[in-house]
Amino acid sequence: MASRIALVVVLLLLFAVPALAQQQPYLLHVLILCCLYAIPAVGLNLMLGYTGLVSLGHMAFAGIGAYTFAVLMVDAKMPFWLALVLGVLAAGAGGAAIGAVCLRFRTHFFMIVTLAFGLMLFSVMNNWDDVTRGAAGFPGIPRPAPLGGFSFGPLQNFYYLALGAALVAFAVQWRVARSGFGRVLMALRQDERLARAKGVNAMLYKTAVFALGSAIAGLGGVLHVSFLRVAAPATFSLAESINAVLIVIVGGAGSLAGPALGALVFVGLPEYLRVASEWRLVVFGVLLVLIMLFAPQGLSGLIESAWRRVRR
Amino acid sequence: MISIRNLRKSYGGIRALAGCDLEIAQPGIYGLIGPNGAGKTTLFDVMTGVTEPDAGKVLFDGRDVTRWPAHRLAAFGVARSFQECRVFPEFSCLENLLFGAREPESEALRLLRLINLDQYAQEPAANLSFGQRRLLEIVATFMARPRVLLLDEPAAGVNPALLELLLQFIRRMYQERPLLFVVVEHNMEFVMALASEIVVMHQGAVLERGTPEAIQASPRVMQAYLG
Amino acid sequence: MLSAILEQTINGLMAGSVYVLVALGMVLIYGVMHVLNFAHGVLLMVGAYVCHFFFTRVTGSYVLSIALAIIVLCLLGIALERAVFRPLQGNLRNQVIASLGLILAIEHLVIAVWGPNALQMKVPATSALVAVGELRFPVQHLLVIGVTLVVVAILFVFLKTSKFGTAIRATSQDRQAAMVVGIPVERIDWITFGLGTALAALGGALIGPLFLVFPQMGDAPMVKGLAGILLGGMGSVPGAVIGGFIIGVAESLSTLFMPTDYRDSVAFAIMVLILLVWPRGLFGVRVRGED
Amino acid sequence: MSRLALVLLMMASPATWAQEKLAVGIITSLSGPMAAPGKFQMNGFRLAEEEINSGGGFTVGGRKYAIELKVYDTRANPAEGASAMQRLATVDRVPVVLGELHSGVAAAAAPVAQDYSIPLMLTIPTGPSLTEQGNRFLFRVNANNDQLTQALAEFIARQGWAPLSFIAWNNDAGRGGVNGMKKLLGEAKIGYVGYFNVGEVDFSSHVTNIRSQNARAVMLLMDEEPGSLAIKQIRDAGLKTQLVGTLAMGSDRFLKRLDAQRLDGMVQYNAFPPNANLPHIRAFSERYSKKYGEEAHGFAAQSYDGLKIAVAALQKAGKVDGAALRDALAAIEYDGVIGKVKFDAKGQAHPPVYVTQWCADGKRRILHPENLKADCGAG
């Protein structure tokens, strides 16, 4: 019951932010970035946290969505919302196709093959000049068209779009986690051979979650480039894919709030701290190792155990 | 119900199955015994779609299921337990039973009471002792209402008290719903007490077949074991 | 065209040698501890920096600097094994993610300490040119290939004959069986880790003078080394050597007939295709029932 | 420390008393692969800042100001570029932002600059598309890829060096340069194109292909560190092909990395020949080497001019306001260290682009522009 109240309070707070932070647009900007980094993290959490699939090329699929969206919007002059849906579907399709290949491998092999596909997709984004405008980035991507008088240009309004999309992603995650589909995913993570012996078509379920995770990443990618108004390969590089893993793990893999906590810590903190950047990443690296050693359940695990200790 | 025709399977130089043939017509509890390396577990794995044979056929109720993957066989009504006792550690005992089950929750609770694990219904399976986990695994196989149930060394690592409980449970389940049991086992006392018919395997093929009493008296079986 | 193919092959062997040194270290550690250390590339980079430090600040002799770098990296490897990889034994996912954390920490620690700019390592002895037919190569070029082949040979003899070598092979075949037979498995772990990191240090020290010493130098060799390991068959030491060389040569030859901006994709495409067709790789033996 | 004492202390120190501090935004790359060029950029900004402040600051609308640089590291990541720009606009409230290295990050910072009507003055990114987005608040001091390659392409065409092959960074600078030359010289004249990732330094396979396609000349689109290695590997492999370099390869520091006979005859475009006997260049080079103990670099000169132009425009605008500054910048004509700077309608300046050539004795001669033609020792 307590967690339900906490959820409602957090939601109210999030919706009230634009009003509270009238003269603080930078806070809105940071929160928007947190949402935009949390969305792909939700997709990865479904794969890594619930199903145990450690993909090291996750942001490359966000890139498929982002660049499909950019080409449809700028070159094909398609309306924003249609291009967004097609971008997300493209990312999902890419996830299904490439996922089906990667999922023929297990444990170590799987990780390395996802890393390889991530790098291959990056070089396509970086080199295919006439479509993706290559390394200099794909400029001129517009913000969403006004929806019944509600324009998404100003920061507060884009914040609601980003927050709404993040809530959609978390709702999908919540729905999957509680559904039979989610239960099968968790079974696959615990003991794939036993799950198969109990009638689970492992390949089908894992491809489905790979596609779903990539589609959600695509949603994050589309809004990311729409917010920045430019699509650049650097946003979908191997380093960003490793960041996504870091966000999921620090937040708490396999927990509903994990991606949100991870994104807040990983994106929000440095924006505000602005500490010298080499040391920031040294700290994050060491933090990751310590979490693996002492708190594999990440922040949400720590909070849960602390909460249990308080209640008892 | 089951017919195995001329199954062959080898790992590198080792011929695990060398032309194994077996016909089982109607439900019953069959014990599958034989010295180590006789090919028992390999036969098991082939019958449950875990490994593919090099040659030969497996038929269930006349249908050729040789190349079927494990999940398709499970859907077809073939359930199994594992030699190394596999349960979902993070799921509670109840959740373990309900996973992929064709029986309602009430049946799950009834079965838990039968093996007096009902007070652990909400407890994650990881917290149980090895013997209790073994019982939980076997009980879970019944939840899928299988037509064929293959038990891979169910007695291994289970203390005598729980063993007796396991024996009673399997007999009771067989009375409630006669299905085809195949039990691979080294614990002679357990399998002889449980099985109505014994199949002896040796060097990848079926050596002898008969009632427990006949098998215990057969010189060929003695010779195969003592070498 | 023929001389171009020959020259590209030699280039490929040189690049492949670095991949082999990285791959050898990783496959040994993987075999014994079933740990895939993604931070191995970063250790190669640290090896190059340590060698550069000794060469420019302490001793002028390149060979002594290499030896010192190997010793320092050996100790670092053992420390990492005890502090990070030992406690995470058996939990594959957490090991990999911990090694990703190590990459972040170590790479940016070097940037913070040594600065972001590339360092140069002028080793007069090996920058002389040697002619191979009408082609000309700096000595360092051939030194890298030569030293790698020698190291591979020594390693094979060590693994096949010496006491520790057989203990390492036994532990990688079956950890429990090795324990039962009285092999001090935990000691073998940190010896292997030390040996693996030493190989990475050697790789870094060899390519330092040929190119530049800079924070990101270890990233590409690590990924290509991985491709080599998989090509050769996960866990097979000879496989890693052959796989590493094949990836190096294939990459160089690919520049003859393919646009070079997709050069990296060649190594990965080969890896994925081979694995699809022959998942065990060239030498890998599928362990029965391996999940 | 009681409140009163603190205020007295503030009053006492003359520096703060005399001038108000004016914050100016700087975005650059202090870490990651582009950290080396980032360092030269910062050197240029710091030199300009020091000169302005030590000269007693500057007056805008009757009030005296000293410059304070607010520097943010964007790590070649577009999201960090937009965040830095957002913070500069709304937290630090700067009237102008300068810098950036990576075209992708500049493209992410530009729209935010327009949102808050704060001019963004680029001093290094060369992606031509940046100034094509109709963003009235975007200005670029340095020449873009097409301008840089224009003079050199004409020179190469006149020399008849074809096929021209390339070894180029696989990023915005490298690919932009290759595409620029292809547009100007035509596909037929282009030979082998060897791309490599920023950070890679093994050019052996490219050298082999250049030899086997017997290219007449090879153009190196990269910074001086990998550039020196590429030339070493080309000459070590016994390749006598004509070398064509880019921006940073016309400096003495570059000479120190190699030696004269390897560079002899190499031609390169150069936004800033540090030793040319033009008064404004020579003066800057001396001040730069006095402060940093090394030879001046084009990136530093462009950034130095950027900050100086921003201050001059502020003074002309008469008030510390983004929109007013934008109009002043659009109209300004400034004789900077890199030459005359006048922004066109799209905010792109047209600084002179020099073509210099290495002489056998380690000196350089200026081949282009015509009016500055000079023999060895002037480049």
| Whether the domain at D3-142+281-342 and the domain at D146-270+354-372 fall into the same CATH topology | yes
In a domain, C291, yes or no: no
Could you state, in order of their start, the residue ranges of all structural domains in chain D?
Answer: 3-142+281-342, 146-270+354-372
**pLDDT tier for residue A117 given thresholds of 50, 70 and 90:** very high
Query: For D31, how many CA atoms within 13 A lie in the half-sphere containing its CB?
Result: 24
Q: Which segments within chain A are labelled E, that is strand?
A: 138-139, 230-231
- Looking at the structure of chain C, the number of domains it has is 1
Q: In this structure, what is the dihedral angle of CA atoms C158, C160, C163, C166, given to the nearest 10 degrees?
A: 120
Residue A231: which residues within 8 A CB-CB, separation 6 or more?
A66, A67, A70, A132, A137, A138, A141, A225
**A19 CA to centre of own chain:** 27
| pLDDT tier at A167, thresholds 50, 70, 90 | very high
Are residues A245 and A7 in contact, defined by beta-carbon separation less than 8 angstroms? no
Expressed in angstroms, the distance from the first to the final Cα of chain C is 47
Using the Cβ of C12 and the Cβ atoms of chain D, whether some distance falls under 8 Å is answered with: yes
Look at residue C106 and tell me if it is in a domain.
yes
Domain ranges of chain B: 2-86+145-226
Partner-chain contact A242 C234, CB within 8 Å: no
3-state secondary structure of B2: strand
pLDDT digits (tens, 9 = 90+) for C56-75: 888 888 889 999 999 999 99
Shortest CA gap A76–chain B (Å) = 45
Note the pLDDT of residue A273: 64
3-state secondary structure of A231: strand
Picking from B56, B66, B64, the residue whose alpha carbon sits closest to that of residue B5 is B56
Q: Look up the domain containing A107 and give its range.
A: 26-234
* ipTM score for this prediction: 0.85
Q: CA-CA distance, A60 to A95, in Å (whole number)?
A: 10
- Find which of A54, A288, A290, A291 to mutate to test the C interface (most C CBs within 10 Å of its CB): A288
Q: Which of C30, C100, C107, C114 to mutate against chain A (most A CBs within 10 Å)?
A: C100
Distance of CA A163 to the CA centre of its chain: 13
Whether D and B touch, i.e. at least 3 CB pairs below 8 A, reads as no
pLDDT per residue over C148-200, tens digit each? 999 999 988 988 888 888 888 888 888 888 888 888 888 888 888 999 999 99
CB contact under 8 A, A196 and B69: yes
User: Within a domain: residue C175?
Assistant: yes
Instruction: Take residue D125 and report the two structure tokens written for it.
Output: 């990114």
Omega into D274 within 30° of 0, i.e. cis? no
Most A CBs within 10 A among B99, B143, B151, hence the mutation to make, goes to: B99
Give the CATH class of B2-86+145-226.
alpha beta
Predicted confidence at residue D15, as pLDDT, reads 47
pLDDT tens sequence for chain D (379 residues): 445 554 554 454 444 445 688 999 999 988 767 777 888 899 999 999 999 999 888 888 888 889 999 999 888 889 989 999 999 998 889 999 998 988 889 999 999 999 999 999 999 998 888 898 889 999 999 988 888 888 888 888 888 888 889 999 888 888 888 888 888 888 888 888 989 887 777 888 888 888 888 888 999 988 877 888 888 888 887 788 888 888 678 777 777 777 777 777 888 887 777 777 778 888 888 899 899 888 888 889 999 999 999 999 999 988 888 899 999 999 999 998 888 899 999 999 998 888 888 887 777 788 877 777 777 766 5
Is D79 in contact with A33 (Cβ distance < 8 A)?
A: yes
A4 CB-near residues (< 8 Å, 6+ apart): none
Digits of tens for pLDDT over chain B (227 positions)?
Answer: 788 888 888 887 788 888 888 888 888 889 888 887 778 888 888 888 888 888 999 998 888 988 888 889 998 888 999 888 899 999 999 999 999 898 899 999 999 988 888 888 899 999 998 888 998 999 999 998 898 899 988 888 888 888 888 888 888 888 888 888 888 888 888 888 888 898 888 888 888 888 888 888 888 777 777 76
Q: Residue A36: how many CB atoms within 10 A of its CB?
A: 27
CA distance B96 to chain A (A): 9
Residue A163 pLDDT more than 80? yes
Domain D3-142+281-342 has CATH 3.30.460.10: no
What CATH code is carried by the domain that includes residue C108? 1.10.3470
Name the pTM for this structure.
0.88
Class of domain D146-270+354-372: alpha beta
pLDDT at site D106 = 92
What b-and-e string marks burial along A1-28, b requiring 16 or more CB atoms within 10 Å of the CB?
Answer: eeeeeeeeeeeeebeebbeebeeebbbb
Residue A276 located in a structural domain: no
**Do B79 and A193 lie within an 8 Å CB cutoff?**
no
Residues of A contacting chain C (CB within 8 angstroms) = 48, 52, 54, 101, 104-109, 111-113, 115-117, 119-120, 123, 126-127, 192-193, 242, 245-246, 249, 276, 278-279, 281-282, 284-289, 292-293, 296
CA–CA distance, D340 with D348 (Å, rounded to integer): 13
Q: Is B145 helix (H, G, I), strand (E, B) or coil?
A: coil
- Which tens digits make up the pLDDT trace of C15-25? 899 999 999 99
Say if the Cβ atoms of D238 and C136 lie within 8 Å. yes
Q: At what angle do helices C237-257 and C139-161 cross, to 10 degrees?
A: 150
**C-alpha atoms less than 13 angstroms from C-alpha of C157 in its C-beta half-sphere:** 5
Beta-carbon neighbour count of residue D379 at 10 Å? 26
Look at C111 and A182; give whichever has higher pLDDT. A182
Residue D104 and residue A127: Cβ atoms within 8 Å?
A: no
| Closest Cβ opposite residue A194 in set B75, B88, B144 | B88
| Structural domain boundaries enclosing C250 | 2-144+156-277
Q: Is C289 on the interface with B (CB under 8 A)?
A: yes
